[in-house]
Structure 1
Amino acid sequence: MNDQLTLDETVDEGWVAHLRDLSTGVVPPTSANPHAMSREAIRRTRTRRAVLSTGGGVLTVAAVAGAAFALGGPTTGGGLLPGGSASAGADASTSADLSRSADLSRSEKERRAKEVREAAIAALASAGVPDGWEVHELEGLTYALPAEIVSSGPVQDEPGVTSDMWHSSEDPDAPPFLRIAYVTPDYEFYDTKAGGLTQTPGREATSFDLSGATTATVEDGSSQELREIMAMPAGDGAAEPVRILVHRADGPGRYLITMTLPEGNSELVEGFLDSLRLN
């Protein structure tokens, strides 16, 4: 007995063809959409190009600005770059203006001081300075000396002292010798003995008139006290000491004038006293 099942059912070829068409349309699932990935890649490429283009422009502007700064020129045509400030330029301009103002102030003071000196010299000349005498000035005091008495050059003064030294052009080692000194309270011996000299009149001092002075005195070789102070013995016939003291009325400044003169120079002392002016 044959138990084999015989299939004699007819196969539907149309159905088979339909299934075959369906199988060709089916694709395995993927983790990403290739079309979406392509669109994203294109978008990123365009964005990167735009960023690079913009960044290149910024770098160009920065390079130009840096070069202008290094060359000391302006970075713009009169305007400020974004984020810039005018305060630095204003401060520099203000500093320059103050410096110019200080320079002008100093120049003005120097000009006025020169005018005062010239006016004092002119006043002395008009007052009858002896012929052949020359007018000089020291810290507001003008005086005249014969032309043959010349300067001994710069003086190494102590603090608080400014002085001029004079001697004869004929014989620098022989009298006359003159020292005109201006002293201030900064001088260590302002109101005490210093090297045998004091800044207060001696007992035998004689006063004379001088506008602008509270004290104006003169002492000569007839004063034994002065001879002792200046270490010049009396009666040697070689030289005569003279000391002139002038105290300014408008401040603490004082003038200490000492002379070592040959005998018989009273005319020199008188002419010198007549020429004194306080500016």
Structure 2
Amino acid sequence: MRIAIYQVDAFADEVFRGNPAAVCPLQEWPDDRMLSKIAGENNLSETAFYVVKGDRVEIRWFTPAVEVDLCGHATLATAYVLKKYESFPGTTIPFYSHRSGELPVTVQGDQFTLNFPADQFSEVPLTPELLAATDKQPVAAYRSKARTMLIFDNQEDVEHLKPNLSVIADLETGGLIVTAKAEKYDFVSRYFAPAKGVNEDPVTGSAHTTLVPYWADQLQKQAFSAFQTSERGGKVGCRLLGDRVELTGSAILYLKGEIYI
């Protein structure tokens, strides 16, 4: 069996920036163990698989360790592949996830806008466990079903903090966002998910489903710009639309090949 594979740098306009994702087009869904093995062999933070079925595109995402409920950068990468290399018609790609529902992506030139459900979260106490998650002092903490978020006073704290990965891996949510108000952008962030096989993710679209509602409330506006200040870094255009979040970015192809199984 041969499967096409693309590697795309998402939330980037040049290679070696943003977040790399593998994208594999399929004619039908194989056994889940095969999808997991392919993702493990790729050894990227995410591998996206998709099957075009009727009037929608079914999509799934795997880290090297687990299947995840939602992934922004790999969805952007898949939209890029469909439009640039797989001749998908129209300006809207109707993605569907059996875990997260309808996830349409609109295309305008080289910009791709993801429409995702906004995360539901609440403030929680700064417990000793959360204080031990990094070597900097957060000012507040929030938690949703999928992730924990720590708020810091300034951009420098977020840029220079050192994560305690063993503590983060033991968090109930398994993932940690750190964020602060920024200078050039409206806010910056980083994301760590060692329990899912990703120590630090370069640019995390799904984390922005938590970040966007939080910063919309803090900044009292609906549209703004964000930067994930990882080593590779990536820009994310953000907009809150009620209970949905729009995330906009570009992508670029790094490689195309075939998997032989």
Task: Return the TM-score normalized by structure 1.
Answer: 0.23
- Structure richer in strand, relative to its length: 2
Higher relative CO (Cα under 8 Å, sequence separation at least 6) belongs to 2
